[in-house]
Structure 1
Amino acid sequence: MTGDRPRTHPGTAGGVLAVDIGGTKLALRAIAAGAAVYERTVPWPVGGDAGGESELMEASVAEAVGALGGAPVRIGVAAAPNVDADGSVLSWPNRPDWVGRSLTAPFAGSGAEVLFGDDATLAGLAEAMSTGSRDLVYLGIGTGVGGGLVSGGRLLTGAWGTAGELGHLVVDPRGPRCRCGTRGCLQAVVSAEALAAHAAAARGLPTTSAELVAGVDRAEPWADRTLDHAADSIAGALRVLVELVQPAQVRIGGGLGAALAPLPRRVARRLAAKARPGRPLPEVGPAVHGPHSSLAGAALLAAHGTSVLGGADLFREGCPS
């Protein structure tokens, strides 16, 4: 199924492919002459294994390449798992059987250069470029919780390329144990699974994240309590970031984050209550790319190569816009 709305990508030269490898789905966008010509989201099969998922990815990439009518110049991949320089999966808590497997294998038949980037880091890049913000924090809430940081017009990638792991800031030392092994990470408190569990306790019934979204839309009291819980936890993490990197903007996205429309305003109120008096606070708003920020970042990586991941000023003349 192709996308139902055109997306332009200034600066794209030749056909490229953007791929977002997430915790619950695979998203692809083929871009030719600066515009999206194909888009598809493929859910991971329930109970699938790494071998079958790799074959599904290979077939999905081949279909997207076919929509371009020829081999793409480059493929940009926003990856949820931690991947080493050779494309081998180092860790993927949602899919542990991928560890040690090559994430490059499904792209081998594409004929293109394949570049990988952290999914949330690339999402932060896309949000900064689309908003024109030189100082921005991106927070993605879905299967996990990821983050991307842009400071002074530069993408912060850190020594190992994945700086901005906001999901692993500890917000409650006595809180639930995260899949990373630490107790009280933001991810363990506000991921889709964690918020569904909180909503179930508040409601007194088993509750899915989709039911939570519907409850928030209907202003159900139990859903409102869960939204308050999420906003308070996120504001606690942002309180630290305000002191460390002083962002002008915070953008909240990801599959669940984008669906919880009142969340950014609620976070802004909680942050104002927690902040040090007299300190300027960032604007907190929804991600401009909604749940597709990582895919938009992958498109920038595909169009412009690794120059977008370096330490250069993203807004200088000649950089992507």
Structure 2
Amino acid sequence: MNGDNLHHRSVPQTTTLLKTPNNISINKINLKKTPNYVSSNGKMSDQWPTHWWSLADASFLRWTAADIIGVFKYHPVPCFFAVTLLFFMGVEYTLRMIPPSSPPFDIGFVATVYLHRILASSPTLNTVLAGLNTVFVGMQTTYIIGTWVIEGRPRATVAALFMFTCRGILGYSTQLPLPEGFLGSGADFPVGNVSFFLFYSGHVAGSVIASLDMRRMQRWELAILFDTLNILQVMRLLSTRGHYTIDLAIGVGAGMLFDSLAGKYMKNASSSVVEQDGLCTNRPLLS
């Protein structure tokens, strides 16, 4: 190594740092602070606008043909929903309303007319199917409660509590008339052919809650079995006029919704217990 190199390395390096509101200067090299607002002309600015929004700041003014094509290419599902929205807007504005003196129109009832006739002509078959459906409800209940009592995982139980409470509130708030041609059975759930809320289907929602839990635990075969039995249950409930189609469809959505809400509740509850108890191993039954 020569002396020049040694001398060069021994010279102490000095750094000058100067700050201004919008710039940082290091050794006379200016570094502008990163802006955080896009103005109407597409340029970045570190000043927030003095208004909430204006047409000049509208996002669509910066759209390009490639952006629009990309929507159809990369987001086909929302595009499909957009088309169906336009279709049903046309249907809604041209459809003649059902008069108050007529029974409700239900496409599920139309699709199960043949099965309804079979069950109406065979009370024994109707009772057997009702009994089997009640067994399936018992399977749902056993599994959902078992996930908490046996496995210590209360999420499905909490979801079912949320779901049935909301069902009771909505069912009482708007009491739908019993469908024309209802085929009741003493073996059906609620057992004894008693009254029940139509909106929404607790049968279907409970099945969905159980199925979602099975999938979380990777119990795929059991989940497929429950989904299959749920489809058969839907067909029977439509055939016996035990529920309107909308009750069953919302039952599926309700199962998903309350399972998600229960998951968020359990997450927040667990965090709260940890914050309060620290490393304590004694946890509440629902944590």
The answer to whether the superposition gives a TM-score over 0.5 is: no
- More helix by proportion, 1 or 2? 2
More strand per residue: 1 or 2? 1
TM-score normalised by L of structure 2? 0.22
Q: Which has the larger radius of gyration?
A: 2
Q: Which has the higher contact order (CA 8 A, sep 6+)?
A: 1
